[in-house]
Amino acid sequence: MTGILRNPNFSLFGLAILGLLLGSSFAVVGEDQQAVIERMGKPDRVVNRFRPGDADGAGIIAKIPLLEQVVWLPRGLVGFSNAKAKVRSNDQQALLVDTDVTYRIIDPVRLANTLGSADKVEGQLQSLLPPLLDQELSQRSAGDIARPGSGGAAVMLLKSLDARTRQYGVQIVDLRIARVELDEAGQKATFERMRERQLAEVNAIQTRSGAEASQITSAAEAEANALIQRSAAQDLEFYRFFKAMRSYEGMYGNPTRQNTTTIYLQPDSGYLKYMAGN
């Protein structure tokens, strides 16, 4: 026996075991943590439990090795996001809703007894929130849901969700509808309606523009004809020259009709007179 105790390997092994026992006898609780000390699997005491205005429990704690385990829980606010939950408004719009939730663990012992760890809180929120969203938002129009506060739905959702999470020792501090959008089919239908309205507006503008252009053209032609008539009355020779130029323009002014018309004139034609400048 004495030989065993004097064996250096055995001594090192014993020191290692002692060090492990001593190391597992203490733990450090941070200011942002609260700890539930469980003895034989049952909660025994809480260290640095959240209380408004009280933050004196952080520091080194002692526990019995092997018999006691520490369940670590956050002491401050924790955020959770639920993305693209499918709901239908009372005006039959299919919507995708993003929800942001802020919660706090206010009863660490209850949480340890019901869920076992803080990691399972989000799983409960993921199962509790969608049916509540469907229940509350289905009573409101898509326009109300998209407004800040979602037409009062956010307040009702917070109260309903908080009432259900208290059984786990969790308090819902804030809940907001972060984003609302139409589903893919709804977006396509909306874009198609927008396109149809745009085309209708373009057609209406074109129709009005065409009518206005016709009115302006008619007025301009009427004014031009009146001016020509007045000019003819004042200078008959100029009027004849003008008529000759218009006839020439009609035959050769259009590039698509060039070289398609041939005219034969007498040398003493008045038309040639004007064209020759005599």
Question: Residues 176, 240: one domain?
Answer: no
Query: Residue 245: which domain range?
Result: 235-255+269-278
pTM exceeds cut of 0.75: no
At 122, give phi and psi (nearest 5°).
Answer: -65, -35
Question: Residues 140, 155: one domain?
Answer: yes
Residue 149 backbone class (left: φ over 0; alpha: ψ -120 to 50; beta: rest): left
Q: Would you say residue 240 lies in a domain?
A: yes
Q: Express each pLDDT in 160-169 by its tens digit.
A: 999 999 999 9
Least confident of 15-24, 64-73, 102-111: 15-24
Q: Would you say residue 194 lies in a domain?
A: yes
Spatial CA neighbour of 36 closest among 48, 23, 52, 51: 48
Q: Would you say residue 36 lies in a domain?
A: no
Q: Would you say residue 200 lies in a domain?
A: yes
Q: Would you say residue 123 lies in a domain?
A: yes
Question: Residues 165, 193: one domain?
Answer: no
Rounded Cα gap, residues 101 and 175, in angstroms: 5
Q: Would you say residue 260 lies in a domain?
A: no
Spatial CA neighbour of 145 closest among 72, 201, 92, 215: 92
How would residue 21 be classed by pLDDT, with cut points 50, 70 and 90?
very low
Question: Residues 159, 142: one domain?
Answer: yes
State the DSSP string of 130-164: HHHHHHHHTTS-HHHHHSGGGGGHHHHHHHHHHHH
Q: Would you say residue 156 lies in a domain?
A: yes
Q: Which residues does residue 205 pair with via DSSP β-bridges, in sequence order?
A: none
Question: Residues 161, 193: one domain?
Answer: no
Describe the strand order of the beta sheet including 170-182 as a list of residue ranges: 78-88, 94-105, 170-182
Question: Residues 83, 174: one domain?
Answer: yes
- Write the single-letter amino acid at 86: K
Question: Residues 247, 273: one domain?
Answer: yes
Question: Residues 166, 249: one domain?
Answer: no
Q: Would you say residue 60 lies in a domain?
A: no
Q: Who wins on pLDDT, 52 or 46?
A: 46
Question: Residues 124, 194: one domain?
Answer: no
How would residue 4 be classed by pLDDT, with cut points 50, 70 and 90?
very low
Sign of CA dihedral 100, 104, 107, 108: positive
